Copies of this chain bind each other. A is one copy, B any other.
């Protein structure tokens, strides 16, 4: 079944990494996996993945190494740490990182990996959430050379509905930051809107259908606002902590670039307040409760 399919690796089998690995296995690829905590490997191994002892072993077994971790320190350890990917790096191999990390950290690590081993690097952060990952319908914004991205394109059809080259390394991450500006601000704006509806005496749950197809319509209005209206916050699809992490990256990046982002800065502060109230581990639209004030 795996004859002729590029051998792949996946490092970091969290909320996004595992469903992506599942789709790659289902597409017939051999996939070698590694995760910092071994227990998260169980479903991947049951689905036919091979376990590697170290990130370097993943890179030995695979031509293409996917990574999806929480921050650039974790990436640095996986790539350049003891038994890291770099120890098995080679010019015919490519690392494709789906994490949301700082664009400058990506560029620095990509250059170092190329200089030390010749291995390629694509930043390919994703959007679409765990549901998009399970359905193979992620939206992927990529940075890297055209040749590396074209080599990945047929593989990415298993996990994504679109895979767009935005420019050189880091450009995918800048685009993901743009995505997160919309997503994070959207959670607060929808919360304020639903509170206005409630306090104005209409049923908040009726608003998304009423506005469908109009100029206020959005993925978030149809998919997230109904969960906010129902206060369904206890299945974390993405936590408030993760949103604040992304907002902090955006803030640092904008500060460096000299870009004023008044609304995004306020949303950052509101998420900080929400987390200070002990809500960081809840699903990110739970910001509604902090804006409500009465919770």
A141 to chain B, nearest CB (A): 5
Residues of chain B with a CB closer than 8 A to A24's CB: none
Find out whether the CB atom of A178 lies under 8 angstroms from the CB atom of B162: no
A250 to chain B, nearest CB (A): 7
Q: How would residues 262 to 295 of chain A score, 1 for a CB under 8 Å from any chain B CB and 0 otherwise?
A: 1110110010000000000000000000010100
A198 to chain B, nearest CB (A): 8
A114 to chain B, nearest CB (A): 19
Give Cα A174 to B254, complex, Å: 35
Most B Cβ at <10 Å: residue of A162, A201, A214, A264: A214
A161 within 8 A of partner (CB): yes
Chain A, interface SS category = helix
Contact partner, A214, options B179, B213, B224, B260, Cβ 8 Å: B179
Chain A positions near chain B (C-beta within 8 angstroms): 103, 127-129, 132, 137-139, 141, 161-162, 164, 166-167, 170-171, 174-175, 177-183, 185-186, 188-190, 192-197, 199-203, 206-207, 209-221, 223-224, 250, 253-254, 257-264, 266-267, 270, 291, 293
